Amino acid sequence: MTTLEGIFAKPRLAQRDLARLLALDDPAELQQLYAAAYAVKVRELGKVVHLRGLIEVSNLCVRNCLYCGIRRGHATVERYTIPEDEVLAAAAWVWQEGLGSVVLQSGERTDEAFLAYVERLLGGMRDLSQAGLGVTLSLGEQTEATYRRWRRAGAHRYLLRLETANPEIFAAIHPPGQNLASRLACLASLRRCGYQVGTGVMIGLPGQTARDLARDVLMMRDLDVDMVGMGPFIPCAQTPLADSLGDFDARRAAQLELGLKMIACVRLVMPDINIAASTALQALAPDGRERGLLAGANILMPNVTDPRYRRGYQLYDGKPGLDETSRESRDRLAAAVARAGERVALAERGDSLRFRRRGA
């Protein structure tokens, strides 16, 4: 059997290599994996972390994904769309504090009122920062015409998660009418529109194996994405998958470990992309995002949504930071960066090195 060092030395990892790494459970071997991935991150990107101010602009959604806390069928959620002036005020704070980038996230909508709302927000953010603020959108599947419209208005990046590269698992966690082929077509559209393209998966889904996750990593590599945002699956009450993992408390440590292993594997396979340490990691352990940095991540997203709206945007149970102010969220993550022995990059957009090299 190939040693771990032998796997790390390979110029191109195969599915069997990744599956082996994702199945590791020996603490010493896990530390070898995280250290190898961290060394790659430092070599390619330095000991630098970029912060992206996250604004959850709306929890209205036309989709009914079986795992999601803001799914259309979740009747008890108090729905909201943040007024434009409040979103722009949050974006202005991000810009003034030197975070460099903002992320607009929402439930999925395709109506003209929403498309125009996003377009106006992009124009407003361009004006308040003299086009200096980096903008990532995470607004679901849209037409290519819509993606072009938002790109012209000032968006730079777009995150659209695969959730899983296994079509059978995808079908098991989504209602009829949603399919992996449509998601892949949207990612191709985003590339044609000139975005920095991001995707990601849910980790530790019911029935998912190490080979499935290895396949996820390889699909993201083959898509040549510029950034990855992914996190461990955490069930949400009042959704069809609420009890799909049984006693979740007994699985928390394993889900966190699996999330860290995925970060490390993605970093080994795609050395020069941006990888986020997700909020879900912190939901599983107070130092989860800090551990994500030490496993190879280089992006953190402090939540700068007004706390009045945050309880309406809980995609899973136990989401942390619901009552934090923007400053408290930023300061908490900055402290985690310092504990990891890294520094926060200020006044930088933090564009993907992979994206920059592709355009060189």
pLDDT tens-digit map of 213-239: 999 999 999 999 999 999 999 999 999
Interatomic CA distance for residues 207 and 55, integer angstroms: 32
pLDDT tens per residue across span 75-100: 999 999 999 999 999 999 999 999 99
| Helix intervals (H) in the chain | 4-9, 15-22, 27-45, 84-96, 112-128, 144-153, 167-173, 180-192, 210-222, 252-269, 279-284, 288-294, 307-310, 326-339, 353-359
Enclosing domain of residue 88: 36-359
DSSP annotation string for 158-173: EE---B-S-HHHHHHH
In the chain, % of residues over pLDDT 70 = 99
The number of CA neighbours under 13 Å toward the Cβ of 345 is 18
Helix 144-153 vs helix 180-192: angle between axes, to the nearest 10 degrees?
Answer: 40
Spatial neighbors of 323 by CB under 8 A, at least 6 apart, are 307, 310
Tell me what pLDDT residue 167 has. Answer: 96
Q: Taking a C-beta distance cutoff of 8 angstroms, is the pair 204, 232 a contact?
A: yes
Q: Is 13 part of any domain?
A: no
In the chain, % of residues over pLDDT 90 = 99
SS (H, E, C) 58-105: ECCCCCCCCCCCCCCCCCCCCCCECCHHHHHHHHHHHHHCCCCEEEEE
Spatial neighbors of 311 by CB under 8 A, at least 6 apart, are 78, 322
Residue 283 one-letter amino acid: A
Residue 108 has pLDDT above 70, yes or no: yes
Residue 55 has pLDDT above 80, yes or no: yes
Q: Is 42 part of any domain?
A: yes
Interatomic CA distance for residues 240 and 166, integer angstroms: 19
Residue 101 has pLDDT above 80, yes or no: yes
Strand partners, 159: 198
pLDDT tens per residue across span 15-35: 999 999 999 999 999 999 999
Short-list 200, 165, 198, CA closest to 280: 200
Q: Is 151 part of any domain?
A: yes
Q: Is 25 part of any domain?
A: no
Q: Taking a C-beta distance cutoff of 8 angstroms, is the pair 122, 154 a contact?
A: yes
CATH number of the domain bearing residue 135: 3.20.20.70
Interatomic CA distance for residues 230 and 48, integer angstroms: 20
Residue range 106-117: mean pLDDT, rounded? 98
Q: Is 90 part of any domain?
A: yes
Interatomic CA distance for residues 115 and 107, integer angstroms: 12
Count how many domains the chain has. 1
Q: Is 4 part of any domain?
A: no
Q: Is 11 part of any domain?
A: no
Tokens matching residue 185? 């077509």
Short-list 258, 231, 269, CA closest to 354: 269
Q: Is 27 part of any domain?
A: no
Residue 360 has pLDDT above 70, yes or no: no
